[in-house]
Amino acid sequence: MGGFPILTVMTFLPLAGAFLVMLVRSATAGGKGNGGAEAGKTVLLAGVIISAATFAASVAAFATFDRDQAGYQLVEQYAWYGPISFKLGVDGLSLSLVLLTTFLTPICLLASWNSIEKRVTEYVIAFLVLETFMIGVFVSLDLVLFYIFFEAGLIPMFLIVGIWGGKDRVYAAFKFFLYTLIGSLLMLVAMVYMIIAAGSADFEVLEKFTFDPGVQTWLWLAFGASFAVKLPMWPVHTWLPDAHVQAPTAGSVILAGVLLKMGGYGFLRFSLPMFPDASAYFQPAMFALAVIAIVYTSLVAWRQTDMKKLIAYSSVAHMGFVTLGIFSFNETGVQGAIFQMLSHGIIASALFLIVGVVYDRMHTREIASYGGLVNRMPIYASFFMLFTMGNVGLPGTSGFVGELLTMVGGFQAATWAAAGAALGVIFSAVYMLTLYRRTVFGEITNPALAGIKDMNLIEWVCIAPLAALTLLFGFAPNLIFNFTDSSTLRILSMMAGGQ
């Protein structure tokens, strides 16, 4: 593609599209409120098209990417202010997460076709702006630029939960905002120190700069505070179930599919290569927190009566496997962690869409309100079964590959940690199969379910691609491994060279 700034275009295309949506709203609604249902559909369609174009741009970036090259590619750099520059670039790790982001966003907007009826224009704008900020996090190669994108993403997500969420949406939105903001303020202080010490905010410069081991400890803690909340890790995970339950379906999808992955990405991009001594020092503690997250939140998930809250706690447990893999400090574990992030992004997103299908019909997420859905919704039950098996980690699904490799990598580093994590696999089967049995099998006992209809075309279009990827990556995991292998080895080599 020569000198074409594909990353800049890809990053800011959704933001430009947000302005276009405003024009569409004005043209169709004549400036009156939301312009009615027809205008709302037009705005949603515009959002889907813009986000689909962004996905096409990310595919174009993928097509030019050399998977055998370990360093950053498609680099764009423009002078900004002093040691700070507008620098973008990707490696296998970041581009894989960009592809996940751009793939899920049009699905989120399409899934909102029938569920969002108020302030549709503002809703679409919030999602498109959020997409720009999420992509920006993964393509930034400058500390200040990364921080701007990382923090700016809080605003549209805060609005999505706080305006279009459930009855306790304001409480959940503020809890989400405050948890993530407080952790990130510590990271900002650490960033200022790093820029002064190294004389640059450039990632490539900072990766080669050696910080004193004592200083590394404090820098690691400051960054870790932010990433732990974002991942989220126990015990700073309590904002997640509230945010998931109150968020609209699409909000839950993007929260589980992308925003949680920023924590794992941060540990891999900053903690391991830039603070290797501190990462090694905190390894046992991270293993302990990962095992607690896996076991404790799995048990909590089992006792939930709300489908969304159950899947939310399940997400915390699965992110525990990501933590285990990252801090195993070996290729198997780190590759497994990256694979698990991508796999969870697909499966968890699908499960929230699955819940959204019946919620749009019944307006309740209580497990007790369902039962016997297979009698009226056989196609729905089939998709639900596939994603249940993926979440459990059944061989043949992408969920199996990620969990297995993180445990193998963890076993090489600490047998006790892998043994503890293995309990989570058992517990996940318990709570997911219990959920499936209670909602899908048996006879219909709730009279309101007698007339419930199976999935419509839009729901098919949203969920079928996720089902295909769950199976594709389950049977052909090398499609991801071959793409991320060079980046993984580079991260581990920087860590080994810095200790």
259: CB partners within 8 A, 6+ apart: 134, 153, 157, 230
Percent of the chain predicted with pLDDT > 70: 96
Cα separations (Å) of 359 from 115, 307, 310, 367, 370? 10, 10, 15, 11, 11
On the question of pLDDT at 70 being above 90, the answer is no
Confidence at 37, pLDDT banded by 50, 70, 90: low
On the question of pLDDT at 339 being above 60, the answer is yes
- pLDDT at 470 (0 to 100): 96
List the domain boundaries for the chain: 293-499
Mean pLDDT of 208-234: 90
Mean pLDDT of 431-457: 90
11: CB partners within 8 A, 6+ apart: 88, 132, 135, 136, 139
Mean pLDDT of 130-154: 94
- pLDDT at 184 (0 to 100): 85
Token couple for 110: 């399409």
Token couple for 206: 């900072």
Token couple for 329: 């400090």
On the question of pLDDT at 110 being above 90, the answer is yes
> What confidence tens digit (pLDDT) does each residue in 396-409 have?
999 999 999 999 99
CA gap 174, 163 in Å, rounded: 12
CA gap 495, 499 in Å, rounded: 6
Q: What angle do CA 428, 292, 261 make, to 5 degrees?
A: 70
- pLDDT at 308 (0 to 100): 92
Confidence at 31, pLDDT banded by 50, 70, 90: very low
- pLDDT at 33 (0 to 100): 45
Confidence at 34, pLDDT banded by 50, 70, 90: very low
Q: Which amino acid type is present at position 49?
A: I
Cβ neighbours, 10 Å, residue 96: 25
On the question of pLDDT at 81 being above 50, the answer is yes
Mean pLDDT of 47-53: 95
Cβ neighbours, 10 Å, residue 172: 24
The average confidence (pLDDT) of the chain is: 90
Q: Which residue has the tokens 């948890």?
A: 179
Q: Which residue has the tokens 């190669």?
A: 141
Q: How does DSSP classify residue 327?
A: T
pTM: 0.93
